[in-house]
């Protein structure tokens, strides 16, 4: 199987069994024609159990798309560093463009309007108010929130996003839609506001992609 992978590329590994494990972080350490040496997969900083002949599934991103393939553990290596020797099997499958994967989840946000004339977010001394809330949906392309006030489409915000177990990520986003959510006569009203990232550092994008796909796979395991 021809794989678009290189040494040091990040991958995610899942042990396939009657009770599949969550997808765990790993990376390519060495490559041969029909064998890969990968770092021992970890979840929340802990090594997951692995054994010879263990069936696993490996996923990775390449050219803005996500792929997966099946493999078998050939050997477990503990010394001098924990590694796995694995053999790819089956076919390489394309899952989905990573920017298109959107999950419903709650992650804490702080948004500060960058438009001076946005009156609802200014006090009499012209200081910006922060909007503090949780996401409703999240993807590598943007997010949505519920808010008690309408936000004008096109408004730019500086954003701080706190993913569970991660340090805050800093980026910029623009409101691209604002729709009334819930009952039309509800008081106070609730608006669902969609945002698109306008500035997202590559490292922050990679962390969001990893988090979103991990959450999506956990949801699949629960189905």
Q: What is the pLDDT of residues 186-223, one digit of tens each?
A: 777 888 999 998 888 878 887 888 788 777 666 554 54
User: For position 55, what pLDDT does the model report?
Assistant: 94
Domain count, the chain: 2
Is 193 in contact with 157 (CB distance < 8 Å)? no
**Is residue 166 one of the residues assigned to a domain?**
yes
Q: What is the mean pLDDT of the chain?
A: 81
Tell me, what DSSP letter sits at residue 152?
-
**Is residue 157 one of the residues assigned to a domain?**
yes
Identify the helix (H) or strand (E) that includes residue 212. Answer: helix 202-222
Share of the chain above pLDDT 70, in %: 83
Last residue of a domain, one of 80, 97, 114: 97
User: For position 14, what pLDDT does the model report?
Assistant: 85
pTM of the predicted model as reported, rounded to 2 decimal places = 0.54
User: For position 145, what pLDDT does the model report?
Assistant: 93
Structural domain including 80 reads: 10-97
Indicate the pLDDT class of residue 115, thresholds 50, 70 and 90. Answer: low
Q: Per residue in 65-88, pLDDT tens? A: 778 899 999 999 988 899 999 999
Is 183 in contact with 159 (CB distance < 8 Å)? no
Given CA atoms 17, 19, 21, 22 in this order, what sign does their dihedral have? positive
Examine the domain organization and report whether 184 and 139 are in the same domain: yes
Given CA atoms 134, 102, 196, 59 in this order, what sign does their dihedral have? positive
Cis peptide before 87 (omega within 30 of 0): no
**Is residue 1 one of the residues assigned to a domain?**
no
């Amino acid at each position: 199987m021809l794989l678009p992978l290189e040494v040091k590329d990040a991958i995610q590994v899942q042990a396939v069994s009657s009770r599949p494990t969550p997808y765990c972080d790993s990376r390519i350490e060495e490559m041969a024609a029909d064998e890969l040496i990968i770092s021992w997969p970890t979840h929340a900083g802990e090594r997951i159990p692995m054994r010879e002949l263990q069936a696993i599934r490996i996923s990775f991103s390449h050219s803005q798309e996500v792929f997966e393939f099946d493999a078998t553990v050939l050997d477990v290596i503990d010394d001098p560093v924990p590694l796995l020797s694995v053999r790819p099997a089956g076919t390489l499958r394309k899952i989905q463009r990573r920017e298109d994967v959107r999950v419903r989840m709650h992650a804490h946000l702080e948004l500060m309007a960058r438009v001076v004339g946005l009156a609802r977010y200014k006090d009499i001394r012209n200081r910006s108010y922060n909007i503090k809330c949780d996401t409703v949906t999240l993807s590598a392309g943007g997010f949505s929130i519920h808010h008690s006030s309408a936000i004008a489409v096109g408004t730019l915000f500086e954003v701080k996003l706190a993913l569970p177990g991660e340090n805050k990520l800093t980026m910029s986003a623009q409101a691209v839609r604002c729709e009334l959510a819930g009952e039309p006569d509800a008081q106070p009203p609730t608006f669902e506001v969609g945002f698109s990232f306008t500035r997202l550092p590559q490292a922050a994008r990679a962390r969001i992609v990893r988090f979103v796909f991990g959450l999506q796979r956990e949801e699949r395991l629960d189905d």
